[in-house]
Chain A
Amino acid sequence: MASRFGYLGLVLAAFALMLLGKADVEVMEKVRSTVSDTIAPVLEILSRPATAVDQVVDDVTQMANLRNENIRLREENQRLIEWQSAARKLSSENQQLKGLLNFAPGAEPGFVSGRVVADSGGAFVHSVLVSAGARDGVSKGQAVITGDGLVGRVHAVGSRSARVLLLTDLNSRIPVVVEATRTRAILAGDNTDRPRLVHMPPGATVSAGDRIVTSGHGGAFPPGIPVGVVALVGDSTITVKPYVYRDRLEYVRVVDYGLQGILDSNFAAEGAGVIK
């Protein structure tokens, strides 16, 4: 009998915690950050052997492909050199035109790098823990990127760890544009690896293979970060294949665009507001 009451008490306590979390009580996030901060050093050590094993496997597969890889890289290098000269030309032209127009440049972003030390979420939440926190200059709402593109945004910050909400998470809403047509939209995660484009303006056309980049609307995200390519255009849904793979996340960069504060926790609403 006593144990029945014990269980009832624990279950009620758990539901009370859920309600508290739902009410967005700051305390819950504080507790979470404190726990993450405490465990982060342990995870930091634990994640190293996993990475080491991963690297050995990677090395062996690379050895096998060395020749083909070399040929591929030579070709790519050739192509990139051509692009480089094009970029140089465009960049100087851009400079001159900006000079002519008296263009006010946006803020220069700063970066903080961190290691991904935890990725557990499973099927129900898509987030990772990064070993950089408030003491390194990370703050809530900042964009997180890798060399490939956008990873997500900082969701909660402890002193030496930060939780990053991946762009595939159910709660992720990111203002984006279709690169070629400059059509604005919101990239909404749904806990699958293919987030959807929503709030497209009526009549806008988008086709598979179009590049999607951040729009910079909403403040904290620099514009032009590559996000992914349109994978599938259905009758009611447009899905996007992100450039960044969750399983390959190891080191990430947190972008300090100097504009945090504009972006409050009610990110989705603001993003949608921009679209109108």
Chain B
Amino acid sequence: MNLTFWQRLDLVMRGITPFFFTLVLVVLGQVPLHIPGFAEVAPLLPLMAVYHWAIYRPDLLPAIAVFTAGLLQDALSGMPFGINTVVFVLVHMVVMSQQMFFMGKSFSIIWLGFSLVAAAATVLTWLLTALFYSAFTSPESAFIQYLVTVGVFPLLAWLQVRWQQSVLAQV
């Protein structure tokens, strides 16, 4: 079947939505919410997108796209360049290597997987930050941030599954 130009354009536009979605999450994560104590422990939203798309549609969020999202996260959050970048890329790599395992698993397994991946990502970020500044940052707020991130995951996962089933169904 030959697709018309507009149909092809439509597919391309739909196809880039996961990447766009991830970038939007990076930017959304920067918005000050004025909730007492929240800023220190705000969830790392883009990590959820990296995890989700690496399992279900890695073709739509390739490693180079993850790398770009990490760079944007570093640039906007004021963290040293490269830290979130390397964490995101490694998360993508690890999840991709376990893709076969995750396929068709129930949501609780996916969530458990995320909790493990996010734990590793938090420890790695903490270690890299400590190395970069040659000083240890408080592990408590990193731990609470991790818990908040894992807690918010189901909501975002649901949104992403919805998106995948509607907008990306034909892509």
Contact = CB atoms under 8 A, between A and B. Distances in A.
Contacts of B41: 122-123
A155 B77 CA distance: 13
B63 interface: yes
Contacts of A171: 133
Given A18-B81, A124-B126, A47 B142 contact: no
A18 B87 CA distance: 12
Q: Size band of the B side of the interface? A: 35 or more
A21 B77 contact: no
Q: Which of B42, B80, B82, B133 has the most CB of A within 10 A?
A: B82
A125 B78 contact: yes
A35 interface: yes
Contacts of A10: 63-64, 67, 85, 89
A16 interface: yes
Interface string A21-63: 1100000100110011001001100110011001000000000
Interface in B138-167: 138, 140-142, 144-145
A122 B75 contact: no
Given A122-B77, A123-B40, A54 B34 contact: yes
B120 interface: no
A118 B89 CA distance: 24
A129 interface: yes
A129 B129 contact: no
A121 interface: yes
Given A120-B78, A122-B42, A250-B34, 19 more contacts: A6-B63, A14-B83, A14-B89, A18-B83, A21-B132, A22-B132, A36-B75, A50-B32, A119-B30, A119-B39, A120-B29, A123-B137, A124-B125, A129-B76, A170-B137, A191-B137, A247-B37, A247-B38, A249-B32
B32 A121 contact: no
A17 interface: yes
A247 B36 contact: yes
Interface of A: 3, 6-7, 10-11, 13-18, 20-22, 28, 31-32, 35-36, 39, 42-43, 46-47, 50-51, 54, 116-129, 155, 163, 165, 170-171, 190-193, 245-250
A116 B32 contact: yes
B79 to A, nearest CB: 5
A118 B63 contact: no
Contacts of B144: 123
25 contacts: A7-B63, A10-B89, A11-B89, A14-B70, A14-B85, A18-B86, A18-B132, A22-B132, A42-B27, A43-B30, A118-B30, A118-B76, A120-B42, A121-B40, A122-B44, A123-B138, A124-B126, A125-B129, A128-B32, A129-B76, A163-B78, A171-B133, A190-B138, A247-B33, A247-B38
**Top 10 A-B pairs ranked by shortest CB distance?**
A18-B82, A17-B82, A14-B86, A118-B30, A123-B141, A127-B78, A35-B75, A120-B30, A119-B32, A14-B85
A192 B78 contact: no
